[in-house]
C-alpha cells in the first residue's frame, strides 16, 4: 500500500490550517539538525542528559524480567489500574522516606516517567494564558509541556543556592498586580537541570513560607535527589508541606529511563483529578514496567546500585570540573554541582552559545545552548554541559575542544570588535523547544 507523503503543495499541507492553536507552542528545536551530526562517534556530546545505564547489572535485571513473565505474566501483561500498581506505590513511599516524605500509597499516581506527571499536572491546572512561575533557567521538557498548554511562563531568578526567595516573592506580587494569579511554582530543588545547583536548606523554609503566604501551589520536580555525591539526600519541600506541594519522582535516573516509570504525590483532591487525567491519556501506566521496577526494588540491592551510579557520576563530574579549570579562557564561569548530571557554563565577552554551536560541532564537541532553557529568549551567553554519559577521558577531551573554540571566538571578537559568527536561524526569537533525547 502506498502511504501518502507530504510534499510542498500536496493536499496534506492543508491540514496545517486546521491545527489547534496549542500546536503553535510545539516547535522543534532548531539545533536538532546539529544534534544529528553530534551523535557521530567522533563528536564528544556533552549535550545529552542520558543516564549511564551501562552501570546496571543487566544479567540480574534480565533474570528479574524473565521470572516476572514466567510467574506473573498474566498480570504483568494485562491492563492495570489508572493510579498504578499498589505494591509499587507502597515501595515508592519507602523510596521517598529517604527524603523525609511520609506518604500513603493512596496519595501516589504512577506515571509514564515524571514527564507524564508534568503533563498531567499542567493539564489539570492550566488554561491558555495562565501564569506558571519557573526558575530561570528551567528544564526544557517542562517548558515544552507548559508551551503545549499555552501557559505563560514567568521566570524567577536563581543563583548558586537555587531559587532566590526575594525574587519569588516579588514575582508573585508582580503577577498579581498585573491582574493575574500564578497557578503554581515549578521548581527543581536538587541538582537542577540545567544549572546543577541545589536549593540551600535555609532557603527551603523561606520558599515554603512565601508560597503559603501567597497561597501558591508548588510543583517539586525531583528526579536527581538521590544522586548527591556527598552526604545524605536533602529534605524534600513536600516533607514539610504535604498540602502545598505536588512532588514528582522518577526511576529514570536511579534505575532505568527506558521503563518510563515515574510518579506524582499530590494532595488528595488533586490526586483524584490526576488519575482521571491519566486514564484519559493512557488508560493505565504500563503494568509490565511497573512490575519490573517493583520486582527490582524487592529482589535487587537498589540502594547499592544508586551508590554505584553516584560514584560513577562523581568521577565524571570531577573530570569535567578539572578540565574546565585547566582549559577554559579567563572570564568563563561555571557551576560546581554536588550531584546530578549537569554543569552550567557562562561565556565571557558577550559570546552567543547558540551562534557558536555549529563551530563547536565542527570542532567535534556538542552542548545545549542556554536559550533552550528559557521561555523568553534569554540565556544566550550560557550553555549546559552534561557529564553523565561520556567516560571521563572523553569529557576531558570534549571540554578541551570546547575551550579552544571559545578562545578562538574571543580572539575573533577582539580582532573585529563584533560578535563572532552568524546566529543560527531563529536564535533571536524566544522559543520553547521540543526536548528529544539530546535535550532531556
Q: Smallest distance from the beta carbon of 220 to ligand PMP, in angstroms?
A: 11
Q: Smallest distance from the beta carbon of 51 to ligand PMP, in angstroms?
A: 9
Tally of residues, the chain: 440
Residue with smaller CB distance to ligand PMP, 195 or 361: 195
Q: Smallest distance from the beta carbon of 342 to ligand PMP, in angstroms?
A: 9
Q: Smallest distance from the beta carbon of 113 to ligand PMP, in angstroms?
A: 2
Query: Which cell numbers hold the place of 147?
Result: 508551551
Residue closest to ligand PMP when measured from CB atoms: 113
Residue with smaller CB distance to ligand PMP, 99 or 352: 99
Residue with smaller CB distance to ligand PMP, 193 or 332: 193
Residue with smaller CB distance to ligand PMP, 99 or 221: 221
C-beta neighbour count of 120 within 10 angstroms: 28
Residue with smaller CB distance to ligand PMP, 114 or 381: 114
Q: Smallest distance from the beta carbon of 331 to ligand PMP, in angstroms?
A: 29
Q: Smallest distance from the beta carbon of 4 to ligand PMP, in angstroms?
A: 33
Residue with smaller CB distance to ligand PMP, 130 or 221: 221
Place of cell 520486582: 295
Q: Smallest distance from the beta carbon of 50 to ligand PMP, in angstroms?
A: 9
Residue with smaller CB distance to ligand PMP, 251 or 405: 251
Q: Smallest distance from the beta carbon of 428 to ligand PMP, in angstroms?
A: 27
List interacting residues with ligand PMP (CB under 6 A). 49, 113-115, 139, 141, 188, 193, 221, 223, 250, 252, 257, 262, 440
Q: Smallest distance from the beta carbon of 252 to ligand PMP, in angstroms?
A: 3
Residue with smaller CB distance to ligand PMP, 389 or 405: 389
Q: Please give the Cα distance from 289 to 65 (Å, whole number).
A: 10
Pairing, β 217-221 against β 184-187 = parallel
CB 338 within 8 A of CB 160: no
Q: Provide the β-strand partners of residue 153.
A: 132
Residue with smaller CB distance to ligand PMP, 114 or 289: 114
Amino acid at each position: 500500500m502506498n502511504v501518502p507523503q507530504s510534499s510542498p503543495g500536496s493536499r496534506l499541507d492543508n491540514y496545517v490550517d486546521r491545527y489547534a492553536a496549542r500546536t503553535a507552542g510545539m516547535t522543534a528545536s532548531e539545533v536538532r539538525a546539529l544534534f544529528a551530526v553530534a551523535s557521530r562517534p567522533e563528536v564528544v556530546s556533552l549535550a545529552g542528559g542520558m543516564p549511564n545505564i551501562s552501570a546496571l547489572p543487566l544479567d540480574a535485571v534480565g533474570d528479574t524480567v524473565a521470572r516476572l513473565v514466567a510467574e506473573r505474566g498474566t498480570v504483568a501483561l494485562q491492563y492495570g489500574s489508572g493510579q498504578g500498581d499498589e505494591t509499587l506505590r507502597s515501595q515508592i513511599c519507602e523510596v521517598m522516606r529517604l527524603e523525609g516524605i511520609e506518604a500513603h500509597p493512596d496519595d501516589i499516581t504512577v506515571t509514564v516517567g515524571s514527564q507524564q506527571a508534568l503533563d498531567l499536572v499542567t493539564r489539570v491546572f492550566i488554561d491558555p494564558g495562565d501564569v506558571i512561575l519557573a526558575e530561570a533557567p528551567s528544564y526544557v521538557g517542562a517548558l515544552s509541556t507548559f508551551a503545549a498548554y499555552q501557559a505563560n511562563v514567568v521566570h524567577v531568578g536563581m543563583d548558586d543556592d537555587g531559587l532566590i526567595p526575594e525574587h519569588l516573592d516579588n514575582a508573585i506580587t508582580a503577577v498579581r498586580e498585573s491582574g493575574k494569579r500564578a497557578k503554581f511554582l515549578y521548581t527543581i530543588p536538587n541538582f537542577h537541570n540545567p544549572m546543577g545547583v541545589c536549593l540551600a536548606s535555609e532557603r527551603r523554609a523561606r520558599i515554603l513560607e512565601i508560597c503559603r503566604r501567597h497561597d501558591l501551589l508548588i510543583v517539586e520536580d525531583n528526579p536527581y535527589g538521590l544522586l548527591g555525591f556527598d552526604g545524605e539526600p536533602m529534605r524534600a519541600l513536600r516533607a514539610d508541606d504535604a498540602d502545598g506541594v505536588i512532588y514528582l519522582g522518577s526511576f529514570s535516573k536511579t534505575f532505568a529511563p527506558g521503563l518510563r516509570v515515574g510518579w506524582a504525590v499530590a494532595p488528595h483532591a488533586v490526586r483524584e483529578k490526576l488519575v482521571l487525567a491519566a486514564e484519559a491519556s493512557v488508560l493505565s501506566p504500563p503494568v509490565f514496567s511497573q512490575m519490573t521496577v517493583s520486582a527490582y526494588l524487592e529482589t535487587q540491592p537498589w540502594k547499592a546500585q544508586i551508590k554505584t551510579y553516584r560514584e560513577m557520576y562523581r568521577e565524571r563530574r570531577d573530570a569535567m570540573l578539572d578540565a574546565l579549570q585547566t582549559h577554559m579562557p579567563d572570564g568563563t564561569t561555571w557551576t560546581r554541582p554536588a550531584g546530578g548530571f549537569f554543569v552550567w557554563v557562562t561565556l565571557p565577552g558577550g559570546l552567543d552559545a547558540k551562534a557558536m554551536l555549529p563551530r563547536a560541532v565542527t570542532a567535534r564537541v556538542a552542548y545545549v545552548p542556554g536559550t533552550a532553557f528559557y521561555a523568553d529568549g534569554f540565556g544566550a551567553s550560557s550553555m549546559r554541559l552534561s557529564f553523565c554519559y561520556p567516560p571521563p577521558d572523553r569529557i576531558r577531551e570534549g571540554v578541551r575542544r570546547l575551550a579552544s573554540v571559545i578562545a578562538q571566538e574571543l580572539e575573533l571578537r577582539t580582532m573585529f570588535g563584533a560578535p563572532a559568527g552568524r546566529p543560527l536561524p531563529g536564535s533571536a526569537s524566544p522559543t520553547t523547544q521540543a526536548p528529544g533525547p539530546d535535550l532531556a
